[in-house]
Structure 1
Amino acid sequence: MKKILSLFLALLVLIITALGSGAYNMAATEKHWAITEKIIEWVRESSIEARAKNLEVPPLDDEKLLLTGAVHYDAMCPVCHLAPGLKPTELSAGLYPQPPVFHQREPVIDQAEKQDRAKEYFWVIKNGLKMTAMPAWGLSHDDDSIWAMAAFILKMSHMTPEQYDELVHSTKDHAHDHSHAHEH
Structure 2
Amino acid sequence: MKRTIKTLAAAGVVAVIMGAGVVHFGVFNVGADEPHSDPVYALLSTARDRSIAVRSRDIKVPDLSDEALIRAGAGNYNSMCIGCHLAPSVAGTELSKSLYPAPPNLSKLGVDGNPAAAFWIIKHGIKSTGMPAWGKSMADPYIWGMVAFLQQLPALDAEQYKALTASSDGHQHGGGETKMHNHEGQHDGQKEAAAGHHDAGGAEEVAESDDHHDDKNSAHLHDEDAAPSQDESTEHAHTEGADAPADQPKTHTHADGKEHTHAK
Pair 1:148–1:88, CA change in 2 (3 A): same
Q: What's 2:43 paired with?
A: 39
The counterpart of 1:2, out of the listed 2, 6, 11, is 6
2:211 match: none
User: How far does residue 102 in structure 1 lie from its aligned partner after superposition?
Assistant: 1.1
* 1:162 matched residue in structure 2: 159
Question: Based on CA coordinates, which of the two structures has the bigger radius of gyration?
Answer: 2
1:98 to 89, 96, 102: 102
**Partner amino acid for 2:170?**
D
1:71 aligns with 2:75: yes
Match for 1:51 among 51, 55, 74? 55
Answer yes or no: is the 8 Å Cα contact 2:110–2:150 preserved in 1: no
Structure 1 residue 158: Cα displacement: 4.3
Give the equivalent residue in structure 2 for 1:132: 129
Cα distance between partner residues in 2 of 1:19 and 1:29: 19
Give the counterpart letter for 1:14 in structure 2. Answer: M
Distance in 2 separating the partners of 1:134 and 1:106: 16
| Of 65-74 and 2-11, the range deviating more from structure 2 | 2-11
Distance in 2, matches of 1:35 and 1:5, equals 25
Alignment partner of 1:20 is 2:24: yes
* Pair 1:53–1:107, CA change in 2 (3 A): closer
- Count of aligned pairs between the two proteins: 172
Greater mean alpha carbon deviation, residues 135-144 or residues 4-13: 4-13
What is the TM-score with the length of structure 2 in the denominator?
0.62
* 1:181 match: 175
- Contact (CA 8 Å) 1:107, 1:157: kept in 2 or not? no
> Which structure's relative contact order is higher, taking Cα pairs within 8 Å and 6+ residues apart?
1
* Aligned-residue offset at 1:159: 2.4
Backbone CA RMSD of aligned residues: 1.7
The 4+ residue runs of structure 1 with deviation greater than 4 A are none
Give unpaired runs (5+ residues) of structure 1: 109-113
TM-score with structure 1 setting the length:
0.88
1:125-162 Cα deviation digits (max 9, x unpaired): 00111001111110001100001101111211242111
**Percent identical:** 35
Say if 2:144 is the partner of 1:147: yes
